């Protein structure tokens, strides 16, 4: 197995997470060298192994391949006394523990933050839950879609006269994974400063998305404007933009961020009359008359092919970007130049490469999500257990071993 490399190669993470939010946080750090030990129950492994389509090559879930990549797998029933003792050994040697159970699960199992910090005072504990560890909704179960709804995202997505809509990927869980990794990095940076040792990073799934959406709360409280979904246009029409289909059938998204760009664009697509119209003299006027601007763009785009549209927008220093399918992504010269699609030797399944790109200590793909119980033997030996002890634990169902090692 390839030795971890990267800026986090000296960081060990114990992952008790499941599904997306917690595991993605650990994956993002594993991409940059962290030694992530993912702990799965021998009788109930992470459902991500079975969720979604399976790879033609080997029948393994493709989502599992990418979210469990670069992680070592330990099959352990940590709620049993013998398993708890092993978990303690892991925690004592770890820098970070990641969990995304419902609030209170660790405490009921007798391993809340007070116990974990007794085992390892320097431990960073990332706790991801639907609504956070405190408050009137702390014990309530939640999934990503509920978090998206609470953050207000579907309210801003879709047509004005249609239902709210979720995006085409698990936005709340994914943004939480990203924010969780950021929280861990800040806590690790702080550790050892001014007497700070370990601490808890408490993150509700709706909070990360709400923070990244960012503008809807200040729009209401500061400007007394309530953003609402607006179909193919932006919810508040604060700058010209929209989604249009060219005459040769390509969807493009359009953006012009300044009044100067907007006027150049109007001149390119509709001539001097509309560009010099006082309705489009400045951004407040443009915002007030955005429907007319949108109609002018729609007329131009729908009557011309993609090449003509791109050329006109480029000349106006505006943006008309084609919407890429996954097939387009795999063939795109800029994406390929940036090496943004990664592959592992012996695997047909390709995944998105680690980001961001660090010039001196870049991330790396070492392996994709591994099989059940894959690394139990090695990890337990690293903790000092003998072959006989491992065999006994396996016979008791406390740990799981690959078929060939039982």
The angle, 0 to 180 degrees and rounded to 10, between the axes of the packed helices 306-315 and 259-270 is: 140
Q: For residue 183, with 0-12 CB atoms within 10 Å meaning exposed, 13-18 middle and 19 or more buried, which class applies?
A: buried
C-alpha 386/C-alpha 365 separation (Å) is 31
| Contacts (Cβ under 8 Å, ≥6 apart) of 357 | 338
- Reply yes or no on whether 173 is catalytic: yes
What is the C-alpha end-to-end distance of the chain, expressed in Å? 21
Q: Which residue has the tokens 């389509």?
A: 53
Residue where the block lists tokens 């007070």: 114
Give the orientation angle of helix 21-30 with respect to helix 171-190, to 10 degrees.
50
DSSP three-state, residue 263: helix
Do 65 and 368 contact (CB within 8 A), yes or no? Answer: yes
Burial class (CB in 10 A: 0-12, 13-18, 19+), 155: middle
Please give the Cα distance from 245 to 247 (Å, whole number).
7
The active-site residue out of 35, 95, 173, 375 is 173
Question: Catalytic amino acids?
Answer: 173
């Amino acid at each position: 197995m390839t030795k971890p490399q990267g800026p986090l190669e000296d960081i060990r993470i114990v992952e008790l997470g499941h599904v997306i939010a917690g595991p993605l946080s650990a994956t993002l750090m594993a991409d940059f060298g962290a030694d992530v030990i993912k702990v799965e129950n021998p009788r109930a492994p992470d459902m991500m192994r079975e969720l979604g389509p399976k790879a033609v090559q080997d029948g393994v879930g493709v989502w599992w391949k990418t979210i469990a990549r670069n992680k070592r797998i330990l099959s352990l029933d940590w709620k049993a006394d013998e398993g708890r003792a092993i978990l303690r050994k892991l925690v004592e040697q770890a820098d970070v523990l990641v969990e995304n159970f419902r609030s209170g699960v660790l405490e009921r199992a007798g391993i809340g933050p007070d116990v974990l910090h007794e085992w390892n005072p320097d431990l960073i504990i990332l706790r991801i839950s639907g609504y956070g560890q405190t408050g009137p909704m702390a014990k309530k179960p939640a999934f990503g879609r509920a978090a998206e709804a609470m953050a207000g995202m579907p309210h801003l997505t879709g047509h004005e006269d249609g239902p709210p809509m979720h995006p085409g990927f698990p936005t709340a869980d994914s943004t939480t994974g990203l924010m969780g990794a950021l929280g861990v990095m800040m806590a690790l940076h702080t550790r050892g400063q001014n007497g700070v040792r370990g601490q808890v990073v408490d993150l509700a799934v709706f909070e990360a998305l709400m923070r990244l959406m960012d503008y809807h709360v200040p729009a209401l409280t500061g400007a007394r404007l309530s953003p609402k979904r607006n179909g193919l246009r932006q919810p508040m029409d604060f700058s010209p933009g929209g989604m249009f289909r060219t005459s040769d059938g390509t969807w493009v998204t359009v953006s012009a961020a300044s009044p100067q760009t907007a006027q150049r664009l109007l001149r390119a697509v509709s001539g001097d009359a509309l560009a010099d119209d006082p309705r489009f003299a400045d951004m407040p006027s443009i915002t007030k008359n955005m429907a007319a601007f949108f109609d002018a763009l729609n007329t131009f785009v729908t009557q011309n092919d993609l090449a003509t549209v791109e050329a006109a927008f480029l000349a106006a220093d505006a943006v008309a970007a084609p919407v890429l399918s996954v097939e387009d992504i795999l063939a795109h010269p800029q994406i390929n130049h940036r090496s943004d699609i990664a592959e592992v030797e012996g695997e047909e399944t390709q995944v998105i490469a680690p980001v961001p790109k660090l010039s001196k200590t870049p991330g790396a793909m070492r392996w994709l999500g591994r099989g059940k119980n894959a690394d139990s033997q090695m990890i337990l030996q690293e903790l000092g257990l003998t072959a006989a002890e491992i065999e006994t634990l396996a016979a008791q169902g406390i740990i799981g071993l690959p078929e060939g090692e039982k």
